[in-house]
Amino acid sequence: MANDITMNKQGQTLGRKGLETRQRLMFASRRLLYTHPLPDITAVAISKAANTSSASFYMYFDDVQDVLYALSLEAGEEMAEVAKLLERPWDHTRSEEEALRIIESLNQVWSRHREVLRYRNLEADRGDPRFEELRMNTYIPFIERFAKLILAVNPAMGGRKKGDAYAEATVLHAAMERLAALDPVVMERGLGAKRVNAAIARIIVQTLRGSAADSDSPADPASATKPKRAAKATKTKVEDNGAEGPVSTAHP
């Protein structure tokens, strides 16, 4: 856990005061991310915002990137809790509500940590292995659990493949992450978060239903080409008046 830090950079055990100072530095760094350009966020600026000295900053962090990594780790832990929601039983009679529960939980984490998560993604895109690992540690469990949900509806058999479920889960997660990362003001200037979230929920439900439909396809591809028995109208003699007419049809 991000908060399970017991020692400072000098190897000294952290007491209550030390933990509070470290938290103040992290809080100040988060606040500066929202109010200052990244190049202006320095150890001096963070220390000043936290009402402590630069020397104190280096007791807890190597540099600015180090404190932002710690913030990214915290955000990742909250995101992991969202992924765990996919382990709960899925009520298929209320699929859109279930999907919205996941979407809104993801959005809430982004709302609390938007600038931190943007920084994490920026560093990951630039090739920093620590931040890339953080990002993938968040993405992979989410995608795996989403894929398992798809496969629970539609077992990997016949025309359905496990790889397809993982591909669909990846696409759904990417769409949710990208939209959650948008500035809420920008979102509301467009279609609005409520409408967009509802659309994603419908797409999730359609994906699940589509998967289930795929699983109904015959395992034997050759059998799919066999003509279905046509419904035939049968005629019989009506003894009362000698007329002929359709009496029944075969069940579809």
- Residue 50 is classified by DSSP as T
Q: Quick check: helix, strand or coil at residue 32?
A: helix
pLDDT digits (tens, 9 = 90+) for 46-75: 999 999 999 999 999 999 999 999 999 999
pLDDT of residue 90: 85
pLDDT of residue 14: 82
pLDDT digits (tens, 9 = 90+) for 29-41: 999 999 999 999 9
pLDDT digits (tens, 9 = 90+) for 112-154: 999 999 999 999 999 999 999 999 999 999 999 999 988 887 6
Residues in the chain: 252
pLDDT of residue 66: 96
pLDDT of residue 92: 81
Provide the pLDDT confidence category of residue 159 given band limits of 50, 70 and 90.
Answer: low
Q: Do the domains 1-62 and 65-217 sit in the same CATH topology, yes or no?
A: no
pLDDT of residue 156: 57
Asked if 60 contacts 23 with a C-beta cutoff of 8 angstroms, the reply is no
User: Alpha carbon 224 to chain centroid distance?
Assistant: 36
Asked if 43 contacts 64 with a C-beta cutoff of 8 angstroms, the reply is yes
| 237 pLDDT higher than 60 | no
Q: Which of 9-23, 165-179, 225-239 has the lowest mean pLDDT?
A: 225-239
Rounded mean pLDDT of 83-94?
A: 88
CATH class of 1-62: mainly alpha
- For the question of whether the overall pTM of this predicted structure is more than 0.85, the answer is no
Rounded mean pLDDT of 238-243?
A: 44
| 240 pLDDT higher than 70 | no
Asked if 170 contacts 196 with a C-beta cutoff of 8 angstroms, the reply is no
Q: Which residue has the higher pLDDT, 136 or 251?
A: 136
| 176 pLDDT higher than 70 | yes
- What residues does each domain of the chain span? 1-62, 65-217
Provide the pLDDT confidence category of residue 246 given band limits of 50, 70 and 90.
Answer: very low
CATH architecture, domain 65-217: Orthogonal Bundle (1.10)
Q: Which of 137, 79, 141 is nearest to 112 (CA)?
A: 79
% of the chain residues with pLDDT over 90:
61
Provide the pLDDT confidence category of residue 203 given band limits of 50, 70 and 90.
Answer: very high
Q: Which of 21, 27, 4 is nearest to 112 (CA)?
A: 27
Asked if 67 contacts 152 with a C-beta cutoff of 8 angstroms, the reply is no
